Structure 1
Amino acid sequence: MASVSVAAARGESRASQLYACVAEQGTAAHPHVKGDALADSPDAPRNLADMVHFLCALHGRHPGVIDHAAGRAVESAARRWLTRASEALAVERAYLARLAVAVGPVPGTPGGAGNEAMLVAQRSALGVLAQSDRRGCALGAALAFAIDWAAVRGPLDRAARRLGIEPPHFGLGSEGELRPIADDCSEERALLFGARQLALQQRGLWDLLEARAQARSAL
Structure 2
Amino acid sequence: MAFQVQQEAARLGAAETIGALLAADGAKGHSYIACTIFARGREAARDLADAVHFLSSLHGRHPGVIDHARDKAADPEVRAWLDAAAAGFAEERAYLMRAVVAAGPLPSTPGHAECEAAVTGQRHALDMLGRSDRNGCALGAALALVLDWRAVRAVIDAAAQRFGLALTPPALPSARQALAIAAEAGSPAVERAMVFGAQQLLVQHRGLWGLLEARSEARAEVFA
Residue 54 of structure 2 is matched in structure 1 by 54
CA distance in 2, matches of 1:171, 1:96: 12
Whole-Å Cα distance in 2 between the matches of residues 71 and 96 of structure 1? 24
CA contact (8 A) 2:5 2:20 kept: yes
2:69 and 2:82 in contact (8 A); partners too = yes
Name the structure 2 match of 1:98. 98
How far the C-alpha of 1:113 sits from its partner, in A, is 1.9
Contact preservation (8 Å) 1:130, 1:138: yes
Whole-angstrom CA distance in 2 between matches of 1:115 and 1:45? 19
Cα distance, 1:8 vs. partner?
Answer: 9.0
Matches of 2:57 and 2:200, distance apart in 1: 19
The correspondence of residues 112-191 of structure 1 with structure 2, limited to 5 A, is: 112-186=112-186, 187-191=190-194
Task: State the shift of 1:167 in Å.
Answer: 2.4
Instruction: Give the distance between the partners of 2:185 and 2:56, measured in 1 at CA.
Output: 30
State how far apart, in whole Å, the 1-side matches of 2:34 and 2:84 are. Answer: 30
Q: 2:217 aligns with which of 201, 214, 218?
A: 214
Match of 1:24 in 2: 24
**Per-residue CA distance 1:123-152 (angstroms, 9 max, x = gap):** 111011011110011000000000011110
Give how far 1:175 is off.
Answer: 1.9
In the aligned structure 2, how far is the partner of 1:78 from the partner of 1:189?
17
2:102·2:164 contact (CA, 8 Å) conserved in 1?
no
Structure in which a larger fraction of residues adopt helix: 2
**Residue of structure 2 equivalent to 1:43:** 43
| RMSD of Structure 2 on Structure 1 (CA) | 1.6
Letter in 1 for 2:197: G
What's the offset of the Cα at 1:40?
4.5
CA separation in 1, counterparts of 2:112 and 2:38? 19
Q: Normalising by the residue count of structure 1, what TM-score does the alignment of the two structures yield? A: 0.92
Residue equivalent to 1:198:
201
Structure 2 Cα separation of the partners of residues 168 and 150 of structure 1: 13
TM-score normalised to structure 2 length: 0.90
CA shift for structure 1 position 109: 0.5
Look up the SS of the partner of 2:72 in the other structure. coil
**Could you tell me which amino acid in structure 2 is paired with residue 182 of structure 1?**
A
Q: Name which of structure 1's ranges 201-210 and 112-121 shifts more when overlaid on structure 2.
A: 112-121
Query: Which residue is equivalent to 1:6?
Result: 5
| Structure 2 unaligned blocks of 5 or more | none
Paired residues in the alignment total: 215
Structure 1: distance between partners of 2:15 and 2:167: 28
Residue aligned with 1:71, SS: helix
CA offsets, 1:62-87, max 9 Å, x none? 01110111111232211001111111
Instruction: Provide the rounded CA distance (Å) in 1 between the counterparts of 2:20 and 2:7.
Output: 9
Check conservation: 2:46, 2:107, Cα contact below 8 A.
yes
